[in-house]
Amino acid sequence: MKDRIRKYLTLFSSVFMISAFTFGGGFVIVPLMKRKFVDELGWIDNEEMLDLTAIAQSSPGAIAVNASILIGYKTLGIPGAAVAILGTIIPPFVIISVISAFYAAFRDNRIISLIMTGMLAGVAAVVTDVVISMAGTLVRDRNIISITVMILAFIALRLFSVNIIILIVLAGLIGYIRQRAGR
């Protein structure tokens, strides 16, 4: 019982902290969650995190909220999902409520904008770090088809702005065919 309560508290405080610092959209939250729930707490394994990312990304709604629901559900079932949602939406709710009272001053404040500019470089570094770890695992496995899919998907996204849902469906289809072909 006590362990369970501690787990709820850890879940809540983890998603709360992550949500309070996720500048720059849904894909920033995934690396942060990976560092926390995969590397630090060990509640979720590497491949599972990628699966949950695919589900969060291709479901409707905010990616951060979707990812929290999935992690909460995995760790503590439906009550866990509810706790994770609360932890995720409280920080932006409070921050925006405060800012909306004097948002013109906030928007034009030079100090705040300089801090934000510096933080953006840090956010880019955090996401890059996780990409290096994830792609590194794939390269170490020497799985030529997976590496090819990764590179082609990257090109499709960057150069041709291919819709993410289409990409996930195609990649899933390739996986299905490979499985059927037994390789």
Partner 1 sequence: MIYLELIWAFMQIGLFSIGGGYAAMPLIQHQAIDVHSWLTMTEFADIMTISEMTPGPIAINSATFVGIQVAGIPGALAATFGCILPSCFIVTFLAFIYYRSRGMSSIQGILNGIRPAVIAMIASAAFSLITMAFYGTRYIPADILDIDVIAVLLFLVSVVVLRKWKINPIAVMAGCGLLGLVLYLLFP
11 binds partner 1 (CB under 8 A): no
Question: How is residue 153 written in tokens?
Answer: 């998907």
> Residue 94 CB: number of other CB atoms within 10 A?
11
41 binds partner 1 (CB under 8 A): no
Which of 12, 15, 22, 76 is in the footprint of partner 1 by CB under 8 A?
A: 22
| CA proximity to 17, closest of 2, 38, 35, 1 | 35
Residues 135-154, one symbol each (x = binds partner 1 by CB under 8 A, - = not), give: x--x-------xx-xxx-xx
Write down the least CB distance from residue 22 to partner 1, Å. Answer: 5
Which of 56, 75, 83, 87 is in the footprint of partner 1 by CB under 8 A?
A: 56
Nearer to partner 1, 2 or 142 (CB): 142
Burial of 80: CB neighbours in 10 Å, binned 0-12, 13-18, 19+: buried
Binding-site size for partner 1 (CB under 8 A) equals 105
Which of 13, 39, 45, 79 is in the footprint of partner 1 by CB under 8 A?
A: 39
Those residues whose C-beta lies under 8 Å from the C-beta of residue 12, and which sit 6 or more positions away, are 83, 84, 86, 87
